[in-house]
Every structure is written in structure tokens, then in C-alpha cells.
Structure 1
Amino acid sequence: MIPANIRSQESLGRVHFIGIGGVGMSAVARIMVARGVAVSGSDAKDLPVMAELAAAGARIAVGYAAANLGNAQTVVAGSAIRADNPELVAARAAGLPVVHRSEALAATMGDDLVVTVAGTHGKSTTTSMITVLLQGAGMDPSFAIGANVPALGVNAAHGTSGVFVAEADESDGSFLNYRPKIAVVTNVEPDHLDHYGTAEAVYESFDRFTALLPADGVLIACSDDAGAAALAERTLARGNTRVVLYGTSEGSDLVLHDGGPGDVAVSSPAGRFALDLQVPGRHNALNAAAAVAVALELGVDVEAAARALAHFSGASRRFELKGEARGVRVYDDYAHHPTEVRAALTAARSVASGHRVHVLFQPHLFSRTREFAREFADALNLADTALVLDIYPAREDPIPGVSSQLIAEHLSPGGRLVEPGGAVAALTDAAGPGDIILTVGAGDVTAFGPQIVQALGG
């Protein structure tokens, strides 16, 4: 919940970001600078985005020190910042308000019409699609996205239209800090149980999210997803806002017709309209339908909305092409939940057009591996070759008895554990012309893509 004294951009005063180089933190800082807030920030490493922020007018420091706070009046701390960080310690000692980046962003939104995108999967892609669509239709939205988007050039910007499009992250409950008028929910599944504890707590948090919508607002939910459809039913029963459904069901308000690549369309009472999508997979077709539904709520012509989606080429690490060599295409995907892995591999199958698919997967978090090991294996078994690295721990300490072996023991004969040093050679030996290699996971597995392309070319 946003502190009572942090309700507007003016109430923030001078803002200091601890961990300003992160993709989410830098997005908020970028918008604040553009909206006239005095911004400073620091990070442990000198990252490229920090030079961009400095050029825009922010005061930037490399390395953490109490003196970096300067005359800050509000401090924004990234979720990865340790309690003993000298800047965080100094801020608390001085009695400065320390807020989550979502709280700072919500305060900055001001009187804008806020569109938020939440869901267990597809948030970054759908938020990106909405932004590209609105820009292509002649609107200039402000936006904040949790991934870099090549078609936009940046992952955050201040626009002039009075519409603010933001990715709303449920992983730590921070999506409850926003006050949207239009809320998209792509899907609802148990995840981030290290934070929530139970699946029921996840569902309850989404109920609280939709309860934030005003009477003249709207929930846009995916009818193809059981969790999102159930959320829509509960929201309708509560009666606090309208509900619009999108999906392949004929009972949806916006119906998706997905005949595969080159044959995607949506239909509404206004008619049927083809979507020219550059990104493959049913999941991306559904994300596109969500974007069109938002455009219709904002009064954008549906034909203009459909045409504008042709400019969307994907978000960073979302089935991102890393290169091609020896007739083998190499993609990278951020998928870190079984449903996401299955969607990525299904998309790879469609792109491979009958050729083989090889995947290098890195599990993310010990807790998630413990909860979904069998489901991960079932998804990975869609590939011809499935190689699994050790778990990327991120913020977690090891859990006794939990390792990638829990996944490996359920893999089909084409799957096995692999050491980092042998992964590139194993994949390049297995792949032939026309095949797809996919690196998958939310950790540092992304670094393997360029290495694989280089090895194929060499």
C-alpha cells in the first residue's frame, strides 16, 4: 500500500534510486526525469542505462556510499538491495521514506488514465504490444515495461496523451499499489509461492487487484485461461466494474481466430479484422487480442489497431532471435514457469516447420523447481533435445534435496542434465539445417545464445 505521504509526484520531492541500473528501476527513473523530478541514483556496476539517465539530467554514482543520497527526500530501493546497503542504512537513519519502485511509479502517474497489465505470464509482451499499438494508431502514451522493446527503443517514456500503460508485477504483491482504470489479466496460475505460500493466496491477491478498479473501469481478462476466467466471474459477481473477455471462445467479447502463422484475426461487433503478427505462438496471438481490446476501450479504431500490431517485433528475451548460422536459428526466451516453457517450445515447433527443436533450460529458483519439477519436464519433453543446467538461485538459498535432478528424472530419452562447459558443444552437435535452438530461463542462460551462434558459425 502506498504510504499516505507518498501520493503524488509533488510529494516525492527529490528522489534517489538505490539500484538504478535495473530494468524496472531505470524505467521509473527515466519517467521521473522526463516529468521534472530531481533524480539521483547509484548501482554496484556502471551499466549503459546509467549513462542515458545521466545525459537526461539524473545525478548518477557507481558504487554504494551513504554520501550518494545527497539531499534526497525520498528513496526508492530495488528488491535485490540488501538491508546492510550503506545508502539504505543511511536513508533509514535519516528517517527518509523508503518506497518500492511500484509505489514511486504510482505516485508519478498522477491524473493519467492508467492501463495496467497483470498475469502470471505474458505481462511484458502484452504491455509492449499495447504501447506499440497505441503509438501506431497516433496516440502518445507514457509507458513502463519490465523488458526492453526494440520497436520502442526504450522500456519507459513520458508521453503526452494522458494515458499511462504499465506492467503490473504480482510476484511480490506490488501490483496492488496501482490504481488502474483499465486492467488486463492475461492468466492466473500459482507461482511465486516463496512469497505467497499457497495457491489460494495467489488467487486472493488477484481478487484484491481487480477490486481496485472503479465503477467506470474495466477488467479485460483472457477467457482461454481457467484462472483468468474464474477471476472474471468473481469480479462480475462483486459488481464493482465491467468485465470484457477475449479469447478463442465464441462467447468472448473479442474473439480470437488463430489458424497459425499468417492466419490470425479478431472479431467483435464491429467486424472481423486480420492481425499481421511478427511473433509466433497461440500465447502471442492471445496477447495481441488483449492489446486490441484495450485499444477499443480507449476509442482507437479497430482497423488502425490491427494494422499497428504489425510493427511489434517482440520484447527482449521473449522468443528473441539471437542469430542464425549453418541453417540453424537460435532464439532466447525468458520463460521460467512450466506454462511459459510449454508456450515457448510450442512456438518453436511452429517456427521449425517440421525440423527439430533443441532447448537449453535453466531452472529459476529452488522453490519453483521444487513445486513444478514434473511440470517443467513435461513441457521440456516437447523438444527433441532437452538439456537442463543447474538451478539459478537468484534471491534464494539452496533447499536441501532440491536440484535440477528433480526435473531430469522425468525427461524423455532426449533430455539430460548438462554442465555449462559442455552445453554449447552438445547443442551444436545435435542441431542440423532448419533446426531451432532455444535457450530458456530467467537467469544467465541468456548468455549462451551468442556463444551458440558463434560456435555454429565457426
Structure 2
Amino acid sequence: MDQPWSGRRLHFVGIGGAGMSGLAVVAHALGASVTGSDRAAGSPYGGPLKAAGIEPTIGHDAANVPEGAEVVYSSAIPPTNAERRPPEMHRADLLGELTRLKPTIAISGTHGKTTTSSMVVHALEAKSYLVGGEVRSTGSNAGWGDDAWLIVEADESDRSLLKLSPTIAVVTNAELDHHTTYASQRDVDDTFAQFLAKATQRVVPENLTRLAEDPTTFAAEPTLSAAGSSFDFDGHVVTLQIPGAHNAANAAAALTAIKLAGGDVAAAAQNLASFEGAGRRFERLGTTPTGALVVDDYAHHPTEVRATIAAARTLQPRRVIACFQPHLFSRTQREATAFGRALARADLAVILDVYPARERAEDFPGVTGLLVAEATADAGNGKRVAWMRTHAAAETFLRNELCSGDVLLTMGAGDVDSIGRALI
């Protein structure tokens, strides 16, 4: 049976990434012939790719690209990559095509968009979705089915959200984060406003009504406990097992979008009680031999770090220990003081060096994780701060430090989660 993309050939450069792997899985489901490559093996999204019958090539080489294939790349792939050649398209252009195949709920924001998107998928038991992290209840970051709505996470980091055609657009919050893309908070607001204007219906928190004409707003006043949180939405009691006031707000945003889509709000609210979270979003990895709980989170902005530590406090631990890996030299340079104030809310902070991602250390002389460690010590009023240049040093330190009743948070958008996994 012919699918919408039958006969189409697509080659994904960097297919192991969260966004790219999901697009590859959905393209395959739509009938396209899919190939792809990545610089290294071991992508956390290898499972969904394998289930779709897609075997990535390791390493980049022009010979990897099949004849007649359209090359799909992300902002992380430079023009100098050996596999970049016409015809080619940015991944956002391909995602934009998908949003025109069926009505779409697109969720963006500086924080919480992965969790909120995952909540909508889980609450609706959706089959068609593309999320920037694993939806724990489905075991995948993407899928395609015969349901009425497509749920997508809309990335603002490179303004690619403006390539989408949403029916319902959600913005969870708006802060300046990606300093190489945005010149100011006004620039951020203008971009989110353009995104919201593309939709028929617009959802924003109560403090961001300035971004859209006639928006629908959301808010939550949760009761927090070690078991999670609960709040009222449209006459329904919503109970979450994932902690934190920020996750209650995410759930309110998700339910508002579902209501606008004509979904069964009562059923959706009930389904959220079993929502376990998204991959690397307050993900409980396990317990160390000494009895400390290890929780991993993608938090890489001061607001996210502060919210994650606050969520950990609701578990009523003996201590909250934060192991933080700064992400990007540009963000570290601009936000070191704010990171310090956020991390000082932990009982003990362990700071790693910067995860460079797409940036080069030589372009940011003097910018290391030590800036964050010093700022944390300045804000900590005598609290201990450990500056650890390497994962091995941090792992050794934490193995000797962690005790029963502690909660260890591994935080950052890099590979800091490997420390937590090693400790358990």
C-alpha cells in the first residue's frame, strides 16, 4: 500500500540525535527509503531506529549518501560535512512537511517543552508524535499512526519552530537561553509571537499574554508532596507522580492543548497519573550501593537547575547533592553567576567542566566550569563546592560522599548522566 512518502529517498546526517532519529522513524513509517550516519555508535535512540529497520553508518563520508537521496541535516551539522550536498534540507523543513499532513499540536518554550509534549502524547495515548526525548510510556521519541492529531516538540534554539504549521501552538515560557541565536529577550519574545501567530489556537501561561492575540491561558496551583503533586484543572483533580511545581504547570499546559483539540479532558487527566516522565527529565536512574537515590535531568539553564533542585527537595531527602555539567561556553560565560545562585540551593554542588557541543574552547578563552564553581561558592554562604575537571574524578568523589537518604542530581545537556549510571 502506497504511503505519502513512498518512493522518496532520505539520508539523515547525524541520525542518532533526538530530533533526527525521530524524523527518520516517521519518514520510514510514511514509506520513504531511509539511510543515515552518525559520528559514533551508541545513540540512546538506537532502539527505535533498529525497530524501524534503520541501521546507521558510523562515520561521515560522501559515499554514505545513496544516489538520488535528499540529504537532511540539523543545525549541529556544519556545511563542511562530507555528506552535505544538494538536494538537501534542514530537519525543520521536513518536520514542517509533517505538520501539514495532519492537524498538529506544536509545543515550544525555553523550558519544559519535552516534558509537556510527552505529557500530551501519554495523556492522549497518541500514535503520531515527534518529541526531543524518549516518552517513557512508549519507549520511543517518535511514531506515526492513524490518529487525528500529530504532537510535535518545536525547537526555538535555532528558530526552526517558525518552519512549522501548527493548528494549536503552545509556549510554556520564554527566557533568553540561546545567546548565539538571540540578541535579547525582546528577540526571544518576537520569535515566540511569530510562532503563535501561525496557529489557529494559541496557549500561553498567564504572564505571557503579550505574545499572542486572544490566547488561551493555563496555570496550576499544586499541592506538593514526596509522592508528587496534585491540582485542579477544569473541575478534574490531576495527580502527578513526577515532582515539582514546574511539572504541574507543564501538565496544565498539556491539558489546555488537549481541551482545545477536543480531547477527553477527564480521561487525559486520569492518564497523567501514570505519566513517568520523559527521558533525562527528572529520571530516577536507581540507587547507589550506599542507599542514595540518583536522578538525572537535562537542566542546562539556571531556571531549570533551580526548579530541579526544588523538585528534589519535595522528596524530603537527607541532602540534595547537585552534580552539574555546564553546556556550551557561550552560555557558561553569560550565565555563570546565575548558575551559581541556582546551584547554591543544593547542600553540596559538584561542578564539571564545560560540555562544548558545537562550540570550540579556543573561541572562549578563560571560560571553564571553574567560573560556575566560583560563583556557586560565592553564593553558598560557606557550603561545600567541589570543582572536578573530569568525570572520573567526580565519580570517585561522589562514590565516597553519597550516603543513605541523599538525592544526587546529575544535571546538564551533555553526558553527565554517565556518572549517575556508573554510580548505581
Q: Helix, strand or coil for the counterpart of 2:170?
A: strand
Give the distance between the partners of 2:90 and 2:249, measured in 1 at CA: 31
Residue in structure 2 matched with residue 171 of structure 1 by the alignment: 157
Give the distance between the partners of 1:12 and 1:345, measured in 2 at CA: 49
1:179 partner letter: S
The C-alpha deviation readout for 1:175-222, integer Å capped at 9, x for no partner, is 101011111111100110112232222121112111212xxx211112
Give the distance between the partners of 2:295 and 2:51, measured in 1 at CA: 33
Residue in structure 2 matched with residue 245 of structure 1 by the alignment: 217
The alpha-carbon deviation at position 333 of structure 1 amounts to: 0.8
Correspondence list, 1:97-112, <5 A: 98-112=88-102
Residue in structure 1 matched with residue 58 of structure 2 by the alignment: 62
Q: Helix, strand or coil for the counterpart of 2:181?
A: helix
Give the distance between the partners of 1:393 and 1:23, measured in 2 at CA: 18
Residue in structure 2 matched with residue 336 of structure 1 by the alignment: 300
Residue in structure 1 matched with residue 210 of structure 2 by the alignment: 233
The alpha-carbon deviation at position 19 of structure 1 amounts to: 1.4
Contact in 2 for aligned 1:16/1:72 (Cα 8 Å)? no
- Answering whether residue 417 of structure 2 is matched by residue 452 of structure 1, we say no
Compute the TM-score of the two structures, normalised by the length of structure 1: 0.85
Give the distance between the partners of 1:189 and 1:47, measured in 2 at CA: 32
Correspondence list, 1:54-93, <5 A: 56-58=52-54, 60-88=56-84, 91-92=85-86
Residue in structure 2 matched with residue 219 of structure 1 by the alignment: 202
The alpha-carbon deviation at position 60 of structure 1 amounts to: 4.4
Residue in structure 2 matched with residue 348 of structure 1 by the alignment: 312
Residue in structure 1 matched with residue 406 of structure 2 by the alignment: 435
The alpha-carbon deviation at position 71 of structure 1 amounts to: 2.7
Q: Helix, strand or coil for the counterpart of 1:148?
A: strand
Contact in 2 for aligned 1:102/1:177 (Cα 8 Å)? yes
- Answering whether residue 377 of structure 2 is matched by residue 400 of structure 1, we say no
The alpha-carbon deviation at position 259 of structure 1 amounts to: 4.1
Q: Which runs of 4+ in 1 moved over 6 A?
A: none
Question: Given the alignment, which residue of 168, 174, 181 partners 2:167?
Answer: 181
Give the distance between the partners of 1:149 and 1:55, measured in 2 at CA: 16
The alpha-carbon deviation at position 173 of structure 1 amounts to: 0.5
Q: Helix, strand or coil for the counterpart of 2:366?
A: coil
The alpha-carbon deviation at position 294 of structure 1 amounts to: 1.5
Cα 1:43/1:102, change in 2 over 3 Å: same
Give the distance between the partners of 1:301 and 1:163, measured in 2 at CA: 13
Contact in 1 for aligned 2:229/2:240 (Cα 8 Å)? no
Contact in 2 for aligned 1:388/1:417 (Cα 8 Å)? yes
Correspondence list, 1:284-303, <5 A: 284-303=247-266
Residue in structure 2 matched with residue 239 of structure 1 by the alignment: none
Count of residue pairs the alignment pairs up: 411
The alpha-carbon deviation at position 263 of structure 1 amounts to: 4.8
2:137 partner letter: A
Question: Given the alignment, which residue of 107, 116, 122 partners 1:117?
Answer: 107
Deviates more, 1:394-403 or 1:308-317: 394-403
Compute the TM-score of the two structures, normalised by the length of structure 2: 0.91
The alpha-carbon deviation at position 67 of structure 1 amounts to: 2.7
Give the distance between the partners of 1:166 and 1:382, measured in 2 at CA: 33
Contact in 2 for aligned 1:32/1:108 (Cα 8 Å)? no
1:359 partner letter: A
The alpha-carbon deviation at position 348 of structure 1 amounts to: 0.8
1:168 partner letter: A
Give the distance between the partners of 1:58 and 1:39, measured in 2 at CA: 7
Cα 1:52/1:115, change in 2 over 3 Å: closer
The alpha-carbon deviation at position 340 of structure 1 amounts to: 0.3
The alpha-carbon deviation at position 52 of structure 1 amounts to: 5.1
The alpha-carbon deviation at position 35 of structure 1 amounts to: 1.1
Contact in 1 for aligned 2:135/2:277 (Cα 8 Å)? yes
The alpha-carbon deviation at position 307 of structure 1 amounts to: 0.7
Question: Given the alignment, which residue of 416, 432, 445 partners 2:386?
Answer: 416
Question: Given the alignment, which residue of 233, 236, 257 partners 1:267?
Answer: 233
Give the distance between the partners of 2:233 and 2:136, measured in 1 at CA: 28
2:421 partner letter: P
The C-alpha deviation readout for 1:389-445, integer Å capped at 9, x for no partner, is 111111112212322222222222322312323212322333322110111111111
Q: Helix, strand or coil for the counterpart of 1:400?
A: coil
Residue in structure 2 matched with residue 44 of structure 1 by the alignment: 39
Contact in 2 for aligned 1:9/1:107 (Cα 8 Å)? no
Contact in 1 for aligned 2:230/2:237 (Cα 8 Å)? yes
1:278 partner letter: Q
Give the distance between the partners of 1:83 and 1:39, measured in 2 at CA: 21
Deviates more, 1:368-377 or 1:109-118: 109-118
- Answering whether residue 11 of structure 2 is matched by residue 21 of structure 1, we say no
Contact in 2 for aligned 1:28/1:105 (Cα 8 Å)? yes
Contact in 2 for aligned 1:191/1:199 (Cα 8 Å)? no
Structure 2, unaligned runs of 5 or more: none
The C-alpha deviation readout for 1:63-101, integer Å capped at 9, x for no partner, is 32323222334210132223222221xx23xxx1x2111
RMSD: 2.1
- Percentage identity across paired residues of the two chains: 40
Q: Helix, strand or coil for the counterpart of 1:377?
A: helix
Give the distance between the partners of 2:74 and 2:343, measured in 1 at CA: 32
Cα 1:152/1:70, change in 2 over 3 Å: same
Cα 1:373/1:22, change in 2 over 3 Å: same
Contact in 2 for aligned 1:391/1:403 (Cα 8 Å)? yes
